[in-house]
Amino acid sequence: MTELPSNPPRNLPPHKLSRRKLIAGGLAATGGVLGLGVATRVAQGYGLIPPDHGGIFGLGETLTYASQRLLTRHSLAREFSRNQISKRPVANEIPPFGDAFKRLQAGGFADWKLEINGLVDRPGSFSLDQLKSYPPHSQITQLACEEGWSYIAEWNGVPLSHVLDIVGVHPQARYAVYFSIDTDWWDSIDMADALHPQTFLAYGMNGDELPVGNGGPLRLRLPRQLGYKSVKYITRMTVTDSVKGFGKGLGSASPEGGYAWYAGI
């Protein structure tokens, strides 16, 4: 047992909250708040503030996004070996498709187009065949859902950066906003993610066509963020310097539904 004093020591050093300590603490807190203000301005300049930085959870979101942007700007998502590919990829939440989708599906998606506009030199539309004519790339990466499940698949497609090079992105571009044919589902990523080598316009899975359940014919694939950022059935992308004009200005449909814009966690 620890030696315990039979009587509590009487002559303890004064350990009270003195006036001096209170004033010092107050000054430190004020300095902290001022410092936070300055830090915010600096972070804004370096693109470290997420669009959903407001509200009571904004500080946590900002800390996460800013620290991960600094830490992971160029890092690559983990890639796996072929024998780690999940035998059965999960196809969740297939929305009831509208007429536009059904019509394109009936035509074998031959007329599926991805339109790219905004802050680019040469806005244009890309058919699936056009996208497939570019040098194909593949990645064996994990898709992790915010619900908690995950699977590994080989994703075939063309890096988004390849297509963005073709349209010529303006230097003041900060976000790429992308839309599903189901217009309720749209999202955006910063240019670090948009130009990242593993960010794909994915049209294939495990060497085959990308199944409709997994986002076929065309899905954005973003392996460094949770699955909900990898929007399925994309038909449109706008390059912009601000997401203010899209939806409620929070950067995607996710924060409007209560979910974080940045999903690198």
Residues that bind another protein (CB under 8 A): 1-10, 15-17, 57, 59-61, 63-64, 68, 71-72, 75-78, 80, 84, 86-88, 90, 92-93, 142, 144-152, 223-226, 257-260, 264-265
Which tokens hold the place of 116?
């790219």
User: Least CB distance from residue 216 to another protein, whole Å?
Assistant: 19
Which residue's CB is nearer to another protein, number 168 or number 213?
A: 213
Asked whether 160 and 174 are in contact (CB, 8 A), the reply is no
User: Least CB distance from residue 52 to another protein, whole Å?
Assistant: 9
Which residue's CB is nearer to another protein, number 150 or number 183?
A: 150
CA distances from 147 to 79, 92, 256 (A): 22, 11, 18
User: Least CB distance from residue 234 to another protein, whole Å?
Assistant: 20
Which residue's CB is nearer to another protein, number 30 or number 75?
A: 75
Report the 10 Å Cβ neighbour count for 83: 6
Task: Give the count of alpha carbons within 13 A of 146, CB side only.
Answer: 14
Which residue's CB is nearer to another protein, number 207 or number 258?
A: 258
User: Least CB distance from residue 83 to another protein, whole Å?
Assistant: 11
Q: Name residue 176's beta-bridge partners.
A: 189, 239
Which residue's CB is nearer to another protein, number 150 or number 172?
A: 150
257 φ/ψ sector (left φ>0, alpha ψ -120 to 50, else beta): alpha
H helix runs in the chain, sequence order: 19-45, 58-72, 99-106, 128-133, 160-167, 191-194, 253-256
User: Least CB distance from residue 158 to another protein, whole Å?
Assistant: 21
